[in-house]
Structure 1
Amino acid sequence: MTLSTPLAVALLALWTASPATATAVSAAASASASVTIPVAATAVAATNPIANAPFFPSETLQLTDGVLARVQAALGSEAAALFDFGSSTNASSLSLPRPGTCKLLPDDAAWPAPSTWSVFDQLLGGALIKTVPLAASCSPSWPQYNQTACDAVSDEWTLPAPDLASGSSCTLGGYSSYAVNVSTVAQVQLAVNFARNAGLRLVAKNTGHDFNGKSTGAGALGVWTHHLKELAYYEHYRLGNYSGPAVKMGAGIQAFEIYEKANALGVTAVGGEGKTVGVAGGYVLGGGHSPLSSRYGLAADQVLALEVVLADGRFVTVTEQSDPDLFWALRGGGGGTYGIVTSLISRVYPKLPVTVSTFSFTTGANVSVDTFWAGVRAYMQRFPVNADAGTYAYFWVMSTGPDAFEFLMNPFFAVNHTVAEFDALMRPWFAELDQLGIGYQPNTTYYDNFYAAWDAGFPLETVGTVTMMTGSRLFPRANFEDAARFNQTFAALRATVSAGYPLLAFNLKADLPTGYADNAANPAFRQTLMHAITSTSWTSNASRPAIRQQMDHFTDVVLGEWRRTCPEAGAYMSEADVLEPHFQQAFYGSNYPRLYALKQRYDPTGLFFAPTGVSSENWHVQSLDGLPDQNGRLCRV
């Protein structure tokens, strides 16, 4: 497949930072009136002996040296160099840029010209998207300005409606300037090479569930993997020491999709609690806790092979046998760090039943504040027993007014339990609630499969908002089994909720199953019995200094009290405070030095940057508003 375009349009200013290239292109333009620009991909064989499973159709379309030779023939060597693979013979590609070096922004003179983006789009086969703000129709400064369309946007806006007609600017903020809507590996490779060679910031995004904004970046080129939806099931899969059923899923597969498909196949897959979480992307790369974690461990523990585009643009299969270091790092070392995953292969398990129960209790005429908290305390004392039974609980404790509180179990997810077994597990706690005079009415249902239980048990949540900040902690087993530490932990949690901050928490364990390959997941996960989250919020008209002051108080004071109960523990990087102090220890623990060394090996120029990611301390975002967001220039420190 080829596309034609006038040479002057295709080539002029392809590399605006190089006058020599511009001269060469001008000479080429006068020599020819048109040039044929091929879609930069070639089909390779689907067989993949490294993973012992074939490539997906999307993965058979790759960028190769032969393809780049054709691109060079069409564009000329200097212009085509924008899309070359990284080379070990290029000394500048082997170390981080000099301090003060920054990624380009659209207003920079060296920013690729519109004609460059046009050629890039043609090489991609038309997959490039130029980002437009949602409220562009409300701003006269954008070509999309249209009052009727603006009214429709305003009607659906969940924050104060856009009011931009007065002339105030409408910007992209921290969103990518362009994104590649990926449907082939070749497109990922082209994007990686183009960003690296042109000095652009690069981000990868599937669903964007990460709390810290890893998939955003001002002026960035985004790689959007959301439509990589291929999925295959292998009933008898063999790789290394593993023999059993497995699934291969594209990076765009979401929890509801893999769960539904696995159930139809008669198996159970390990994925997220949230319905729309992208399973094979940042979720599994960051570790990934699951309703099945108390029984099977983290999502990262299930991975047997990954297909990855590295920072040099090469497409590789990563297994424990082919590259044990990268295999270790990818599984838990964080998304947007070592490469862009296009698919992975994971273990699956037989179908299993689940009993789901929801209930709540509150303060009231017959339940004092102290009595309420005695009921919560009795529950938390049961964390070791409940997690060791293989269950997973998702609960809230919150203030509902002056001296008024509510406990909400939504739900208790008793994996591989009948109703009778669930009742027996809950009986000691329920007996204490009865003795305290606390009323509760469990709504309990048995399901013969995980998918039906998960679909019924967990709500479709809306979390993201510009007026809220979250933070979390992985509270270890010792905090619930040691009496003194339990008292300190319970007092800290009660103080948090009493001060008006909600507690959203999961009672689970996430041990590495016996015989499974070790990985880079936060070691704190292996000790945890509670992943707890809280948040702070502010009004939509709060000043930026006031917002930052509130953020700092939340990080230092509110979450500081949590940290003091278990300073040796950490937090789950994907659902955490972006201002977490000493994030290296908090999110990666003792794994950080090895992860940092591997980052320098596989991405020496720092192409992949993510806030709080490995080696992110080498970079700084020059925020335009003084807040910890991604709306400014990314520079080497």
Structure 2
Amino acid sequence: MLADNLNILCTWLGLSCGFIERLLETSPGISGTDPCRCLSTDACWPSSTAFATLESKLSTPLVTPLPPATPCYSSLESEDCGAVQRLWLDGWWRANSSGATQHPNFAEFATPEGDTEVCYVNTTLGYPCGRGSIPAVGVDARSVEDIQLAINFAAARNLRVVVKNTGHDYLGRSTARGAFLIWTHHLTNLTYHDTFKPAGAPEGEVYHDVMTLGAGVQWQDAYDAAFARGRNIVGGISYGGSVGAAGGWVQGGGHSIIAPLYGLGVDNVVEMSIVISTGKHLVVNAHQHSDLFWALRGGGGGTWGVVVSVTYRTHPAPPINAAFFLTSINASTPDALTTPSPTLHKLFAELVRLTPALADAGWAGYADILASADTGHPALRVAYIAPADAPAAVPLMERFYAYARELAESSTLAQGKLRVATAVVSPLANFGAWETMIFRGKDGQGQVGLNVELGSRLLPRELIKRNHTKVADAVLGLELPFIGFYTVTGGVVSKVDPDATGIHPAWRKALVHLVFGSSWPEAASSDVVNEIREKNKKGEAVFREMTPDGGAYFNEASLYQVDPKSDFFGSHYQKLRAIKKKYDPTGLFVVHGGVGSEDWDADLHCRVSPHRTSRTRSDGL
């Protein structure tokens, strides 16, 4: 609004107006005294002329993000609508859309009147297609200069800013109603360095076999580049491959099935480049801007600026053993469809008991409790890997398999009849062969395209070792359709100095990342959604009490953390907050649960002060 008024005055006086834009672009935060960010529904929103001026300087036109189901509200028979319906669960398709979130519930908006503004793929539900919480306009950044122009434009006009990489975000941080979007999805440069010297490093400090990944690179592409050179790289994994390699995944910590072998994502970063709120492009590492480098490695995505690229170590790719275990449960009691059977309790409790020993033997991976495909009853599915040269790994896993087979033979329908469908250990050439076999050639597989909310907690090794029965009982008492018991820490992760990076120190004592949640259909009643949320909150409370010094993974967590500062960052919070004030003094970058978010209301729209009360979030959450 300031820019528009000054330009009108300038034109009326018959003066050249170009200096106004230059002044604003070089003076970010000129409107920073306003307690509320400017949204597209406000009078302060930039004029079409201002946006046209910005667009003329960018390398590609501005984007107007739209709900991905929009084409179906024009014609159900159109080719575009057919693509929407065919690809709704495809993570890559969603990542390629500036207006799509991987989980549609984060695009909903609750109006002040209590109505829901949303654009459902099921057009027969009778709802009009609304924009919901999707940003109004954005910059499709293809270069550092594009990002700088976007940040300076937003800072000068006090706009609400969101940064979106691939949109894979369980806390809805990559979208906001009425916001200005900075979309980094097309920064896909990928460079493999045989040798690499960090900026500012002394002579002789050289890394070998590292990769620099642009902000838009997705992990399947990064894996392909590493595997082609016979190397491993610590990264995220998902069906559909939509996790970004240089965005929120690493800034939140970055767990991986190979983290116990090589460390978390943050432990493998050599250097990062970022554009901060002043518009400056910084290359940060252990030698320059080391405080920001520390914060970026675990201090949370969307908080510090717009990350342009990340340079990672890679590692040798030796042979591995892969363990696959799949069960089903049948039971005679009706409530067993939602309540784990006594047989499943025994089986899972044995897995929990063995987890410290399995981890010490080299195993890491994912254990899920999901509904059996054939019976619908909760059952156990396991996918683990271990180095092929770990001598104790296979005998210990076979011991667990033998226990499961004996339990299957003795179980009854009344207790929950167990069937062990798969229990094998297979030698594979390397981690790349495992990742390709499990995750390639698939779309979202239920991981995207659905309404989802999660809860999580880091479970310390000592807790599991000391009282595995209590842990197993609490996990199976969650009464949620999805539970993940992930051994993605321990090993090398536990050997890193807890203060070496900004990530919560609880990661260094944890052995398991527990994650749980549920989904619901489009247009589900508020009673259904609230019931799911209450179960998530109940689970959060149970595990917070069990782990008073624990924490939660910022990228896979609850929207209802009682104490986000403690849960996400622990004893590092005050240091992170000081770094935040140094590099983003006006608070241009703020996300739910992130560093500095306590200064803002529930919508992250207005600063909270003694004279201003916070509001309830209105994005369907």
Counterpart of 2:106?
Answer: none
> 2:9 is matched with which residue: 23, 28, 53?
23
Matches within 5 A, 1:344-363: 344-363=310-329
CA offsets 1:329-383 (integer angstroms, 9 cap, x no match): 0111011111111111111111222222322123347999323321211111111
- Does the aligned pair in 2 maintain the 1:355–1:453 contact within 8 Å? no
Counterpart of 2:473?
Answer: 491
Counterpart of 1:478?
Answer: 462
Counterpart of 1:375?
Answer: 347
Q: Matched residue pairs, number?
A: 551
State whether structure 2 residue 58 is matched by structure 1 residue 127: no
- For 2:44 and 2:618, locate their aligned partners in 1 and report how far apart those are by CA, in whole Å: 24
Residue 198 of structure 1 aligns to which amino acid in structure 2?
A: R
> 2:502 is matched with which residue: 511, 520, 524?
520
- For 2:138 and 2:586, locate their aligned partners in 1 and report how far apart those are by CA, in whole Å: 21
Deviation at 1:442, TM superposition (A): 2.2
> 1:102 is matched with which residue: 20, 28, 36?
36
The alpha-carbon distance between structure 1 residues 466 and 22, as it changes in their structure 2 partners (threshold 3 A), is farther
- Does the aligned pair in 2 maintain the 1:355–1:419 contact within 8 Å? no
The alpha-carbon distance between structure 1 residues 433 and 153, as it changes in their structure 2 partners (threshold 3 A), is closer
CA offsets 1:589-609 (integer angstroms, 9 cap, x no match): 111111111111111111001
State whether structure 2 residue 140 is matched by structure 1 residue 181: yes
Residue 22 of structure 1 aligns to which amino acid in structure 2?
A: I
Counterpart of 1:245?
Answer: 209
- Does the aligned pair in 2 maintain the 1:200–1:220 contact within 8 Å? yes
Counterpart of 2:232?
Answer: 268
Matches within 5 A, 1:459-470: 460=442, 461=444, 462-465=446-449, 467-470=451-454
Deviation at 1:526, TM superposition (A): 1.1
Residue 48 of structure 2 aligns to which amino acid in structure 1?
A: P
Matches within 5 A, 1:488-637: 488-496=470-478, 499-510=479-490, 511=493, 513=495, 518-544=500-526, 546=527, 549-550=530-531, 552-622=533-603, 628=617, 630=619
Counterpart of 2:413?
Answer: none
- For 1:435 and 1:135, locate their aligned partners in 2 and report how far apart those are by CA, in whole Å: 50
Deviation at 1:470, TM superposition (A): 1.3
Deviation at 1:631, TM superposition (A): 7.3
> 2:369 is matched with which residue: 383, 397, 407?
397
- Does the aligned pair in 2 maintain the 1:217–1:631 contact within 8 Å? no
CA offsets 1:436-473 (integer angstroms, 9 cap, x no match): 34553324432222212211134654424564321111
In structure 2, list runs of 5 or more residues that go unmatched: 90-119, 410-418, 606-614
CA offsets 1:532-569 (integer angstroms, 9 cap, x no match): 1111344533344x356325512432332222221221
- Does the aligned pair in 1 maintain the 2:253–2:264 contact within 8 Å? yes
Moved more, 327-336 or 125-134: 125-134
Matches within 5 A, 1:276-291: 276-291=242-257
The alpha-carbon distance between structure 1 residues 371 and 152, as it changes in their structure 2 partners (threshold 3 A), is closer
- For 1:548 and 1:513, locate their aligned partners in 2 and report how far apart those are by CA, in whole Å: 41
Matches within 5 A, 1:310-325: 310-325=276-291
Residue 392 of structure 1 aligns to which amino acid in structure 2?
A: A
In structure 1, list runs of 5 or more residues that go unmatched: 1-14, 32-72, 140-144, 633-637
- For 2:60 and 2:206, locate their aligned partners in 1 and report how far apart those are by CA, in whole Å: 41
Deviation at 1:22, TM superposition (A): 1.0
- For 2:497 and 2:208, locate their aligned partners in 1 and report how far apart those are by CA, in whole Å: 14
CA offsets 1:89-127 (integer angstroms, 9 cap, x no match): x7x76xxx46xx222222322211112111111111333
Counterpart of 1:430?
Answer: 401
Secondary structure, in 3 states, of the residue corresponding to 2:542? helix
Moved more, 77-86 or 469-478: 77-86
The alpha-carbon distance between structure 1 residues 297 and 437, as it changes in their structure 2 partners (threshold 3 A), is same
CA offsets 1:223-280 (integer angstroms, 9 cap, x no match): 1111111112222334456643211111111111111111112221111122321111
- For 2:435 and 2:135, locate their aligned partners in 1 and report how far apart those are by CA, in whole Å: 34
- Does the aligned pair in 2 maintain the 1:216–1:630 contact within 8 Å? no
Deviation at 1:155, TM superposition (A): 4.3
Counterpart of 2:434?
Answer: 453
Deviation at 1:25, TM superposition (A): 3.0
- Does the aligned pair in 1 maintain the 2:6–2:20 contact within 8 Å? no
- For 2:83 and 2:229, locate their aligned partners in 1 and report how far apart those are by CA, in whole Å: 41
CA offsets 1:41-96 (integer angstroms, 9 cap, x no match): xxxxxxxxxxxxxxxxxxxxxxxxxxxxxxxx8x5211333322548xx7x76xxx
- Does the aligned pair in 2 maintain the 1:309–1:316 contact within 8 Å? yes
- For 2:207 and 2:349, locate their aligned partners in 1 and report how far apart those are by CA, in whole Å: 44
Counterpart of 1:293?
Answer: 259
- For 1:151 and 1:555, locate their aligned partners in 2 and report how far apart those are by CA, in whole Å: 34
Residue 268 of structure 1 aligns to which amino acid in structure 2?
A: N
The alpha-carbon distance between structure 1 residues 116 and 550, as it changes in their structure 2 partners (threshold 3 A), is same
Secondary structure, in 3 states, of the residue corresponding to 1:279? coil
Moved more, 582-591 or 346-355: 346-355
- For 1:591 and 1:182, locate their aligned partners in 2 and report how far apart those are by CA, in whole Å: 32
- For 1:332 and 1:396, locate their aligned partners in 2 and report how far apart those are by CA, in whole Å: 25
- For 1:470 and 1:257, locate their aligned partners in 2 and report how far apart those are by CA, in whole Å: 27
Secondary structure, in 3 states, of the residue corresponding to 1:382? helix
CA offsets 1:124-182 (integer angstroms, 9 cap, x no match): 1333112233343455xxxxx45644864774467661259x8x653221111112111
- Does the aligned pair in 1 maintain the 2:343–2:407 contact within 8 Å? yes
Residue 175 of structure 2 aligns to which amino acid in structure 1?
A: T
The alpha-carbon distance between structure 1 residues 630 and 313, as it changes in their structure 2 partners (threshold 3 A), is farther
- Does the aligned pair in 1 maintain the 2:40–2:179 contact within 8 Å? no
- For 1:616 and 1:468, locate their aligned partners in 2 and report how far apart those are by CA, in whole Å: 23
- For 2:341 and 2:293, locate their aligned partners in 1 and report how far apart those are by CA, in whole Å: 50
Deviation at 1:188, TM superposition (A): 0.3
The share of aligned pairs that are identical, in percent, is: 28
Residue 210 of structure 2 aligns to which amino acid in structure 1?
A: A
Counterpart of 1:54?
Answer: none
Counterpart of 2:94?
Answer: none
- For 2:532 and 2:604, locate their aligned partners in 1 and report how far apart those are by CA, in whole Å: 15
The alpha-carbon distance between structure 1 residues 323 and 583, as it changes in their structure 2 partners (threshold 3 A), is same
TM-score when scaled to structure 2? Answer: 0.81
Residue 532 of structure 1 aligns to which amino acid in structure 2?
A: L
- Does the aligned pair in 2 maintain the 1:388–1:509 contact within 8 Å? no
Counterpart of 2:122?
Answer: 161
Secondary structure, in 3 states, of the residue corresponding to 2:555? helix
Counterpart of 1:39?
Answer: none
Counterpart of 1:57?
Answer: none
- For 1:427 and 1:445, locate their aligned partners in 2 and report how far apart those are by CA, in whole Å: 12
Deviation at 1:428, TM superposition (A): 2.6
The alpha-carbon distance between structure 1 residues 520 and 423, as it changes in their structure 2 partners (threshold 3 A), is same
Q: Give RMSD over aligned pairs.
A: 3.1
- Does the aligned pair in 2 maintain the 1:475–1:528 contact within 8 Å? yes
The alpha-carbon distance between structure 1 residues 458 and 134, as it changes in their structure 2 partners (threshold 3 A), is closer
- For 1:154 and 1:351, locate their aligned partners in 2 and report how far apart those are by CA, in whole Å: 38
Secondary structure, in 3 states, of the residue corresponding to 1:256? helix
State whether structure 2 residue 185 is matched by structure 1 residue 226: yes
- For 1:516 and 1:236, locate their aligned partners in 2 and report how far apart those are by CA, in whole Å: 28
> 1:388 is matched with which residue: 346, 349, 360?
360
Deviation at 1:513, TM superposition (A): 4.8
CA offsets 1:273-323 (integer angstroms, 9 cap, x no match): 223211111111110001111111100111111111011000011011112
- Does the aligned pair in 1 maintain the 2:59–2:142 contact within 8 Å? no
- Does the aligned pair in 2 maintain the 1:128–1:178 contact within 8 Å? yes
Residue 257 of structure 1 aligns to which amino acid in structure 2?
A: D
